[in-house]
Amino acid sequence: MHCIACRSLLCASLGKKATFNLGTVRVRSTKCLSDLQVKSSYKVNEKSPLTNRRKVCQRVLEHFDTQYAEELGSLWTSVRSVLLNPDCWQHGVMLNRFTDLGDLRMRLKELGYTSLLPPNDHERPSTHTLPQSDHKRPSTHTLPQGDHDCPSTHTLLPQVSAGSLECVVQRAPVRLPAPRHERGRLKPYFLLNAASLLPVLALAVTEGDRVMDMCSAPGGKALAILQTTCPGLLHCNEVDKHRCDWLSKTLESYVPAPLMETLQLTNQDGRDFGHTHQGMYDKVLVDTPCSNDRSWLFTPSVQKGELWLKERQKLPQLQVQLLCSALAAVRPGGVVVYSTCTLSRAENHAVVEAVLATCPGVEPEDLQEELANQLSEHFTFAPPLWPPGLLVVPERLGHTWGPMYLSRLRRRS
């Protein structure tokens, strides 16, 4: 068998079944997924060749040790060991319902993948091959004011529901290859940190909702929204021009041309939408720029690490402004979900508390029963210092998802 790489077995010929005790298994081609069954008996190896390719920035690590030991207490020890060992990180696979998935589900099941989400009360709709040629780039025109009808599901899209999102996960650190672009075909799956789906689930988009993804690049959460249901409008915004182009390409690679008509793509400062689009949306997702703990630990130089740590001090002010803008852009009765991929209390709880203190008519909603209790099999949630917010921490093997913080706010008036 070929197309399988495992740290110390790069050139080995493997049989139908293989068990690896160390490292990350990388499957180079989905064509041979059915040839491998992986058991979840992985151990952390601090001298892993893959880990050694990424050098830890000691300055950033020292900063994290000081801050997170205080904020997380004894939990920081286990979180730290996971963050420092990329070989043990898990990788979720979000399936694209707009493509013909063929036997991909079966192959993933043979690899040991299971569904992240609880089963629905009804059967998942079957997927169909959709028109995929002549993809249009998302519009950058002024956001229209009128109603946006969802494309007819019997002609353009399979019947969908709020439960149509499919993500499969593996307790072992198996990583599939990122799907390549093929002209005329949509990509079949999207790789992601499964915790990044929690803000989308908290947003609870229903068919016909007018939705904004305020800081949308690289596009994983926007894709997850479209996998969940068919919104009346999905406005994806990204302030950085390079990342906006990246977002556009992501959407084109996964979304069929007919559905692109319901998308709007803009390259604006999210802080302006509270004034220019006041009360226009049913739901807004603010996955704000933050100090990404996973990537910052592996900053390429001490100088870059020092620069990032200085910039980190300015982030909470920006995050407060973005969240206030989102709350102004949502209609009375609508909801805003705020999220980050950092453990930092200053960028999480403190931001939400600051906004609640200055924005009357806004109430936080407790997500413990709705999300944390139902998904505790897969995620480790830090003990709540402030109940309305959830913090997913990468705490042990099999639970390496996160960091991911989320909080849902409802605008009452």
What positions carry a catalytic annotation?
A: 341
Find the helix or strand (DSSP H, E) in which 6 lies.
strand 4-6
The whole-angstrom separation of Cα 400 and Cα 393 is 7
Strand segments, DSSP code E, in 7-85 are 25-27
The helix, strand and coil proportions of the chain, stated in percent and rounded to the nearest 5, come to 35, 20, 50
CA dist 223 → 194, 217, 251, 402 (Å): 13, 11, 7, 19
Sequence-distant (6+) residues with CB within 8 A of 308 are 60, 291, 296, 299
Q: For residue 401, what is the enclosing H or E element?
A: none
Q: Which amino acid is at 369?
A: E
Burial 53-84 (b: 16+ CB within 10 A, else e): eeeebebbbebbeebbeebbeebbebbbbbbb
Q: What is the largest CA-CA distance in the chain?
A: 64
Tell me the sheet residues that pair with 27. Answer: 4
Can you spell out the DSSP letters for 174-186?
Answer: EEPPPPPPBTTB-
Question: SS3 letters for 66-122?
Answer: HHHHHHHCCHHHHHHHHHCCHHHCCCEEEECCCCCCCCHHHHHHHCCCEECCCCCCC
Q: Residue 325 and residue 212: Cα distance in Å, rounded?
A: 12
3-state secondary structure of 284: strand
